[in-house]
Chain A
Amino acid sequence: MSAPTRPEPGPERDAGPPAEILGGGSAGPRLRERWTALPARHRRLAAAGAGLAALAVLGAYALATRPGPAPPAAVPYPIHSTEFSFLGIDPPEAGDSGFDARLTATSKTGASLEGVTQGYSGLKLSVHPALPLRLPADQPTRVTVRFKVVRCTGLPLNAGLPSLHVTLRNTRAIQDYSSIPGGTYAAELSRALRTICEPAAEAAPGA
């Protein structure tokens, strides 16, 4: 049933002046009697108004008590969401004092590579592409680390698990950590360093 087909209400009874309501209502007409005394149109309007008020209160309560929107999941710390894979070291050419290590860096959520260092004063590192280097989410990015030997003394010619100190940044944090590329990296790094520093110690850089 829809509103336009609803029959018009008939003539309404004059209820006279409203009775005074006394405390407790015992002396006046009861609520039910007063309700039934109202014109039908007024009763419908009152009922609809009360219904809307109840729904509004219910809605407001629901809105007020609903759990807040879940906070957006925090971006993982950069060191927990970024991985490096060692691809290989290009051996140094004869007479060359430098060599390249090739890596890929992959960040699950996107990060920036801010720095690559190591602990030896006899080695200078540079990175290509230049830092800071954006690491798009889930997209392996090739990184070439150029090692330049400036002094052979104290270099790790036989390190078992050498590492690269990496600085990563994302919207959550800037973090340093040691990336340990593993045994193949260790072997190729040692071979490259020995090629430069061992064959002719007297002629080696800084010897």
Chain B
Amino acid sequence: MRHRSLLILTTAVTAGALTLSACGSRDDDGEDGGGGGGTTVVIGLDAPLTGDLSALGIGIENSAELAVKTANENEEVEGVTFELEALDDVAQAQQGQQNATKLVGNEDVMGVVGPLNSDVGQSMQKVFADADLVQVSPANTNPALTQGENWQSGDKDRPFDTYFRTSTTDAIQGPFAAQYLYNEEKLTKVFVIDDKKTYGAGLAGTFAKEFKNLGGKVVGTDHVNPDDKDFSAVATKVKNSGADFVYYGGEYPAGAPLAAQVKETGAKIPTVGGDALFSGEYISLAKKNAEGDIASAVGAPLEQLDTAKQFIKNYEAAGYKDAYEAYGGYSYDSTWAIIQAVKAVVEENDGELPGDTDEARLAITEAMQGVSFEGVTGSVAFDEYGDTTNKQLSLYQVQDGKHVPLTSGEFEG
């Protein structure tokens, strides 16, 4: 009996030890990040990696790189090793279009992440569509990119089947801010300024329309050159208008000095804007004058999303010098969406991509429509226009030198 008990104990302990050993050895796999070898798939990336908007662009690049590294380490697609080719568009549409042409010319490129700016996105769409090369933007918010130029009249028409995005649109972002400021903050008079660009003018338009619908009054409007830094003339106009706040449709390089100069006139009113003001750089540029300013941003605060915790941890562990910023989580999800589309095609094609580049790109574009996974920013999937089905958004206010979440909402229509 004693021997039998001993045998059972020995077996149990040995089996337990082997199980623990097996669990522990998984972490040792893939230290070199080599992936499966076999085929190399290049994921292109386009963003402003230099210039005024580089803080956002580098956050996009680093996060995409992290997704590629993770896919290779986990051998997410058997037999496929991913590489990232990042190009700098300096936030210029013309450069973005040149980059798109260059990426199309590289036969290993099977998908592209980016860009940041809506006008750059517009310039790239047709180039990618002609090559059936899928593009997933983490940051473009202009509704026309997915729903066509007549989206405001309800006549939605998707212009390009190759274009997708993981960020929600200004069609929701502007009205959401208008509702909050009018109904919750009880601010009734606004001075609306935009930079005449696709993103800025579009966002300011959706905001102003809803603000007026609610009963608010637009006491003044103006346009600025986004490359200017002296806004003293328009700041004086704002002060004289008696506005309760400024709504700025544009990006932080001009938005921050504009907000600061409005306050320097003695008008103690906040500047409110969209996701392109939601950057640590905005606060760095406007310094104390940023206090009280509000920015809307697509999605829920990453810090409040369970799905984002691992991303934040891995990003910190990777030692990137620059922050992931407003679009890091969306860039990771955009990249992962391409990886998942590649995976779907490989699995449907006997474990490998179609040998013909055109055929492979078309198959990946078609697969993207059915991609669905739990990403950093929540559930990732796309509707019939290529828009994200995750339509959360949030408002943040600068308090003590940081963007603090004010409120969140979700478009459930």
| Docked-complex contact A160 and B300, CB < 8 angstroms | no
Which residues of A lie under 8 Å from residue B215 when comparing CB positions? 154, 156
| Docked-complex contact B378 and A80, CB < 8 angstroms | yes
Decide yes or no whether B351 CB sits under 8 A from chain A: no
Q: How far apart sit A84 and B413, CA to CA, in the bound complex (Å)?
A: 9
Decide yes or no whether A177 CB sits under 8 A from chain B: yes
| Docked-complex contact A3 and B17, CB < 8 angstroms | no
Q: A25 to nearest B CB, angstroms? A: 31
| Docked-complex contact B409 and A119, CB < 8 angstroms | no
Which residues of A lie under 8 Å from residue B300 when comparing CB positions? 79-80
Asked whether A160 and B210 contact (CB < 8 A) given A3-B1, A59-B13, A77-B304, the answer is: yes
Q: B251 to nearest A CB, angstroms? A: 24
Q: B184 to nearest A CB, angstroms? A: 6
Name the interface residues of A182-202: CB closer than 8 Å to any CB of B: 182-185
* B-side interface size class: 35 or more
CB < 8 Å: which of B13, B304, B306, B412 contacts A180?
Answer: B412
Q: How far apart sit A14 and B176, CA to CA, in the bound complex (Å)?
A: 97
Name the interface residues of A74-118: CB closer than 8 Å to any CB of B: 74, 76-77, 79-80, 83-86, 118
Decide yes or no whether A26 CB sits under 8 A from chain B: no
Residue of B nearest to A51 (CB): B6
Residue of A nearest to B12 (CB): A59
* A-side interface size class: 35 or more
Which residues of B lie under 8 Å from residue A3 when comparing CB positions? 1-3
| Docked-complex contact A178 and B176, CB < 8 angstroms | yes
Interface of A: prevailing SS: mixed
| Docked-complex contact B214 and A159, CB < 8 angstroms | yes
Interface segment among A34-42, A61-69, A135-143: the answer is A61-69
Bitwise interface map of B from 1 to 17 toward A, beta carbon under 8 Å scored 1, else 0: 11100100110010011
Bitwise interface map of A from 41 to 58 toward B, beta carbon under 8 Å scored 1, else 0: 000000010011001001
Which residues of A lie under 8 Å from residue B378 when comparing CB positions? 80
Q: How far apart sit A123 and B300, CA to CA, in the bound complex (Å)?
A: 29
| Docked-complex contact A156 and B6, CB < 8 angstroms | no
Residue of B nearest to A55 (CB): B13
CB < 8 Å: which of B16, B175, B214, B409 contacts A179?
Answer: B409
Residue of B nearest to A6 (CB): B3
Which residues of B lie under 8 Å from residue A178 when comparing CB positions? 176, 179-180, 407-410
CB < 8 Å: which of A51, A66, A84, A154 contacts B20?
Answer: A66
| Docked-complex contact B6 and A52, CB < 8 angstroms | yes
Q: B62 to nearest A CB, angstroms? A: 25
| Docked-complex contact B183 and A119, CB < 8 angstroms | yes
Decide yes or no whether A171 CB sits under 8 A from chain B: no
Which residues of A lie under 8 Å from residue B288 when comparing CB positions? none
Which residues of B lie under 8 Å from residue A156 when comparing CB positions? 213-215
| Docked-complex contact A183 and B179, CB < 8 angstroms | no
| Docked-complex contact B13 and A185, CB < 8 angstroms | no
CB < 8 Å: which of B1, B10, B20 contacts A62?
Answer: B20
| Docked-complex contact B13 and A160, CB < 8 angstroms | no
| Docked-complex contact A160 and B9, CB < 8 angstroms | no
Q: How far apart sit A163 and B395, CA to CA, in the bound complex (Å)?
A: 15
Decide yes or no whether B373 CB sits under 8 A from chain A: no
Q: How far apart sit A55 and B10, CA to CA, in the bound complex (Å)?
A: 7
Decide yes or no whether A181 CB sits under 8 A from chain B: yes
Q: A155 to nearest B CB, angstroms? A: 8
Residue of B nearest to A76 (CB): B306
Q: A78 to nearest B CB, angstroms? A: 12
Given contacts A119-B184, A185-B413, 19 further A-B pairs with CB under 8 A are A51-B10, A55-B9, A55-B13, A59-B16, A79-B300, A80-B300, A85-B412, A86-B413, A159-B179, A159-B210, A159-B214, A161-B210, A162-B179, A177-B407, A177-B408, A178-B179, A178-B180, A180-B411, A182-B413
Interfacial residues, chain A to chain B (CB-CB below 8 A): 2-3, 48, 51-52, 55, 58-59, 62, 65-67, 74, 76-77, 79-80, 83-86, 118-120, 154, 156, 158-163, 176-185
Q: Which 6 pairs between the two chains have the least Cβ-Cβ distance?
A: A182-B413, A119-B183, A178-B409, A161-B175, A180-B411, A158-B213
A-B contact pairs, 25 of them (CB 8 A): A3-B2, A48-B2, A51-B10, A55-B10, A67-B23, A77-B304, A83-B412, A86-B413, A119-B179, A119-B182, A119-B183, A119-B184, A159-B210, A161-B210, A161-B411, A162-B179, A177-B407, A177-B409, A178-B407, A178-B408, A178-B410, A180-B409, A180-B413, A183-B154, A183-B413
